[in-house]
Amino acid sequence: MKQVPMLPHTPSVHEARISSDLNGTITAWNAGATEMFGFSATEAIGRNYDLLTTTNGTILHREALEHLRAGRPSTVVRASWRRHDGRVAEVTLMHSPLFDDDGTLIGTSTIARDVTAVAQLQDEAGKERERLIEAQEMAHVGSAEYEFSSGRWWHSEEFGRLLDLTTGEKVSGAMLLEKIHPQDRDGARTDWLSLHRAGSRHLDRELRLIQPTGDVRWIHASVRVTDVGIRTRVLITALDITARKLAEAVLTHQASHDALTGLPNRILINTILHDLLGRKASKVAVFFLDVDRFKTVNDAIGHAAGDAILAQLAARLRHAIRPGDTVGRFGGDEFVVICKNLDVTEAQEVAERLRGTVKEAFTLGGRRIFMNISIGIAPAGPGDTAETMLDAADTAMYQAKNAGGDRSSVRDSRTQAAATARLNLESDLRLALDRNELRLHYQPVIDLKTGIPVGFEALLRWEHPTQGLLQPASFISLAEDSGLIVPIGSWVLNQALQQTQQWRDSLPGAKDLTISVNVSVRQLQDLRFVDTVRDALSTTGINPAAVTLEITESVLMDQSELPTAIIQGLHACGVGLAIDDFGTGYSSLSHLRWLTAHSLKIDKSFVSELGYKDPSSASIIELILGMARVLNLSVIAEGVETPAQLNELRRLGVRHAQGYLWCAPLPAREVPKQLQTHAP
Ligand code: C2E
Ligand code: MG
Ligand code: MG
């Protein structure tokens, strides 16, 4: 059988009756009193109130008597009385006078009621309230109540704190509105009216409050309407969400700003531009900025320092623009500036100013670093979107780069078309290797003493499926920018070496034939290039001394920070290095020495001017030859087209040359015939 737990004993009588004489001596004690206080009648009668009171019972009794003597019929007081077992009972005492038959006051009759439970409840309620206050404080939530009919208002401490209301202050709607942020005020007013008039039952809204300090505090206000009888009450809770809003703002900022520079990122740039165009802002111009050869800077000083430079650069750009304009970081070393109210000429002036600010030396750890930027300018045209403008500015920037960098270039429709064509060509180029569309043509290098080819330069061609045979000028830079030059270059090297070794093995008088292969700086920046060369040498079995890698001089100059390990690695392989297009760049002797090149190729621009009246080309060639002699470099003249040029070169003492005068670059199959005609 299921056991029912015993309930604790609770007093059934909650009323004790006690009588006392004028001295306060207890004269009567009922069962209720025994039950309430635990003393039996015999124990209590004859004692005074000291038996029960925790304070002075005599005084208590006297006060009660005086009260009654003063003519008041009865008094009710609250007291804490002591029980027989020592516990305290909370009681209310009602003292009434006791008269004898003559109507003389002879004592008091006291009815005591045990209110311990009630007191406990009240105590609990008080604690409950405290807990509520504490909880509200902790949760940053305040509550308030408003009664429509009476206009009575009540609010919790936390609510008062949130809205900066002083306790007891008469609160009105106007006053509350006053505390709301001006931008949220209309919304709040509409909400209130809809509750009051339109009968909405509840509303939630996030709004801002203005603190007396001027600070903004965000709250989430929930408003509920309840009906109690005929009374309509509005309950409001206000939750402080400032911290959350702040976190959200930080997140939004992070999502839309670049961490390194603090500038708007690509996403935000797009949005800003989109907004501007949407608002039909006048004469918007987009500038696309890219640091020239930033990779070199990065490789030279390390990525952390590179980042520091970019941060400095960002700060300079920010200072260089007008307050209403925007500068953002698009990624890497690319920045975008958006301006309003600029015509093309003004835009070009802005571009010059931006370039000027970047040109000044950057200092980092005592080191001075110089940088240039290329800028593409896209003034807004009809039908432009954020995307087309950014694209156009990017394309114009590439145009500036292709023209040598360190300049700005304005978008035009032709550039746009060229960009599209370039993009299409790039996707074709990706497939060219797999589709076997690349070819090598070979141009002989002639020994001017004998007139016999001593070697060949391999020159790349692309058999484009629809555009026919393409020259390197139309796709090498594309291959370099896309990184495709690495696999393509490795194919060129293997193909050229294999072909040459085959000629050396099979053709009469060709056993010492040399081969020159053009190499892009992109290839030279990767240490794996040394492996590529070593592999190509070992697979083809060609004598490394027969192989020369040509590196363009202007590029060399810019890339003076090429990893020395690569240069050393190439030397270790035993291949020769040549400086191509010599004279067009800015090589200094120190560069030549650092590279430890074996030969240099005089650019065809000097050769083509030979034999004309202006003797400067001849002087330059003489200078170059003198320098080559000092550095023990062999010299090859490029682009020899006329017998006059040949004579002049002979006179100056040039030993080797290439040019249409002898032969244009040829497909491999035509080389043997060419060698035969020149055979001694
Ligand atoms: P480059 O290395 O200076 O090659 C010489 C260029 O001059 C070749 O142009 C050649 O056809 C041309 N040329 C030869 N003789 C004459 C002449 O008498 N008169 C004139 N006006 N030009 C002559 P090409 O083949 O169009 O190559 C252009 C450039 O493309 C090369 O200049 C080289 O820098 C680059 N290139 C070619 N093949 C490759 C390659 O496989 N890899 C890399 N990275 N670059 C290459
Ligand atoms: Mg070359
Ligand atoms: Mg050249």
* pLDDT tens, residue by residue, 50-69: 888 877 666 767 777 787 77
Residue carrying structure tokens 């006179």 = 651
Q: What is the β-pairing status of strands 656-657 and 634-637? A: parallel
Sign of the CA dihedral with 240 first, then 243, 246, and 251 last: negative
Rounded Cα distance, 266 and 287, in Å: 13
Output the CA 549–ligand 2 centroid distance in Å. 9
Output the CA 464–ligand 2 centroid distance in Å. 22
Output the CA 676–ligand 1 centroid distance in Å. 24
Q: Could you tell me if 108 and 68 are in contact, meaning their C-beta atoms sit under 8 angstroms apart? A: yes
- Probe ligand 1: pick from 556, 638, 641, 661, max atoms within 8 Å of CB? 638
Q: Whose Cα sits closest to atom 8 in ligand 1?
A: 459
Rounded Cα distance, 488 and 432, in Å: 9
Rounded Cα distance, 649 and 655, in Å: 8
Q: Which ligand is nearest to the CA of 516?
A: 2
Neighbours of ion ligand 2 (CB under 5 A): 518, 550, 580
What pLDDT band is residue 28 in, cutting at 50, 70 and 90?
very high
Rounded Cα distance, 400 and 411, in Å: 10
Backbone phi and psi for residue 618, each to the nearest 5 degrees, phi listed first: -60, -40
Rounded Cα distance, 634 and 320, in Å: 50
What pLDDT band is residue 280 in, cutting at 50, 70 and 90?
confident
Q: Which ligand is nearest to the CA of 605?
A: 1
Q: Which residues of 457-481 are buried (b: 16+ CB within 10 A; e: fewer)?
A: bbbbbbebeeeeebeeeebbbbbbe
Output the CA 171–ligand 3 centroid distance in Å. 88
Rounded Cα distance, 297 and 332, in Å: 13
- pLDDT 10s digits, 67-85: 777 777 666 777 888 889 9
Residues linked to residue 85 through DSSP beta bridges, in sequence order? none
Helix or strand holding residue 29 (H, E) = strand 26-29
Rounded Cα distance, 226 and 147, in Å: 10
Q: Which amino acid is at 421?
A: A
Which whole-number Å values give the CA distances from 426 to 411, 421, 479, 612, in the listed order? Answer: 21, 9, 8, 41
SS3 content of the chain, % helix, strand, coil (to 5): 45, 25, 30
Nearest to 273 by CA among 312, 320, 352, 330: 330
- The strand order across the sheet containing 153-155 reads 153-155, 141-147, 231-240, 216-228, 202-210
Residues comprising the chain, all counted = 680
Sign of the CA dihedral with 654 first, then 659, 663, and 665 last: positive
pLDDT at 566 over 60: yes
Residue carrying structure tokens 């040498």 = 537
Q: Whose Cα sits closest to atom 2 in ligand 1?
A: 518
Of 175 and 501, the structure prediction assigns the larger pLDDT to 501
Average pLDDT over residues 142-164: 84
The confidence score (pLDDT) of residue 39 equals 93
Q: Could you tell me if 218 and 208 are in contact, meaning their C-beta atoms sit under 8 angstroms apart? A: yes
The token pair that represents 82 in the structure block:
């002591």
The confidence score (pLDDT) of residue 559 equals 52
Helix or strand holding residue 88 (H, E) = strand 88-99
Which whole-number Å values give the CA distances from 640 to 156, 598, 629, 649, 660, in the listed order? Answer: 97, 21, 21, 9, 6
Residue 303 CA to chain centroid, in angstroms? 18
| Ligand 1, CB within 6 Å, residue ranges | 443, 459-460, 471-473, 476, 489, 492, 518-520, 550, 552, 580-581, 604, 638-641, 658-660, 665
* Residue 578, phi-psi category: left (phi > 0), alpha (psi -120 to 50), beta (remainder): beta
Nearest to 340 by CA among 359, 360, 367, 322: 322
The token pair that represents 278 in the structure block:
């949407």
Nearest to 170 by CA among 184, 152, 157, 156: 152
Q: Could you tell me if 286 and 336 are in contact, meaning their C-beta atoms sit under 8 angstroms apart? A: yes
pLDDT at 388 over 90: no
Output the CA 517–ligand 2 centroid distance in Å. 7
What proportion of the chain, given as a percentage, has pLDDT over 90? 41
Q: What is the β-pairing status of strands 141-147 and 26-29? A: unpaired
Q: Could you tell me if 25 and 17 are in contact, meaning their C-beta atoms sit under 8 angstroms apart? A: no
Output the CA 620–ligand 2 centroid distance in Å. 20
Q: Could you tell me if 308 and 325 are in contact, meaning their C-beta atoms sit under 8 angstroms apart? A: no
Residue carrying structure tokens 């007008």 = 322
Number of CB atoms found within 10 A of residue 573's CB: 17
Rounded Cα distance, 162 and 560, in Å: 64
Rounded Cα distance, 49 and 107, in Å: 13
What pLDDT band is residue 379 in, cutting at 50, 70 and 90?
very high
DSSP 312: H
Rounded Cα distance, 11 and 91, in Å: 14
Residues linked to residue 95 through DSSP beta bridges, in sequence order? 75, 110
The confidence score (pLDDT) of residue 434 equals 92
Q: Could you tell me if 122 and 99 are in contact, meaning their C-beta atoms sit under 8 angstroms apart? A: no
What pLDDT band is residue 14 in, cutting at 50, 70 and 90?
low
Nearest to 488 by CA among 544, 428, 444, 574: 428
DSSP for 361-406, please give it. PEEETTEEE---EEEEEEE--TT--HHHHHHHHHHHHHHHHHTTSS
Output the CA 580–ligand 2 centroid distance in Å. 6
The confidence score (pLDDT) of residue 586 equals 55
Nearest to 291 by CA among 272, 319, 310: 310
Sign of the CA dihedral with 125 first, then 130, 132, and 135 last: negative
Rounded Cα distance, 27 and 403, in Å: 121
DSSP for 443-482, please give it. EEEEETTTTEEEEEEEEEEEEETTTEEEPGGGTHHHHHHH
The token pair that represents 442 in the structure block:
């070979």
Please state the pTM of the whole predicted model.
0.51
Q: Which amino acid is at 204?
A: D
- pLDDT 10s digits, 437-477: 999 999 999 999 999 999 999 999 999 999 999 999 889 98
- pLDDT 10s digits, 575-632: 999 988 887 655 555 566 666 788 989 988 889 888 776 677 788 788 888 888 877 8
Q: Which amino acid is at 371?
A: M
Of 346 and 128, the structure prediction assigns the larger pLDDT to 346
The confidence score (pLDDT) of residue 657 equals 97
Q: Which amino acid is at 598?
A: H
- Probe ligand 1: pick from 445, 459, 549, max atoms within 8 Å of CB? 459
Domains of the chain: 2-119 (3.30.450.20), 137-246 (3.30.450.20), 257-411 (3.30.70.270), 432-677 (3.20.20.450)
The confidence score (pLDDT) of residue 13 equals 45
What pLDDT band is residue 661 in, cutting at 50, 70 and 90?
very high
Q: Could you tell me if 576 and 587 are in contact, meaning their C-beta atoms sit under 8 angstroms apart? A: no
CB within 8 A of 179, min separation 6: which ones? 163, 164, 209, 210
Q: Whose Cα sits closest to atom 45 in ligand 1?
A: 518
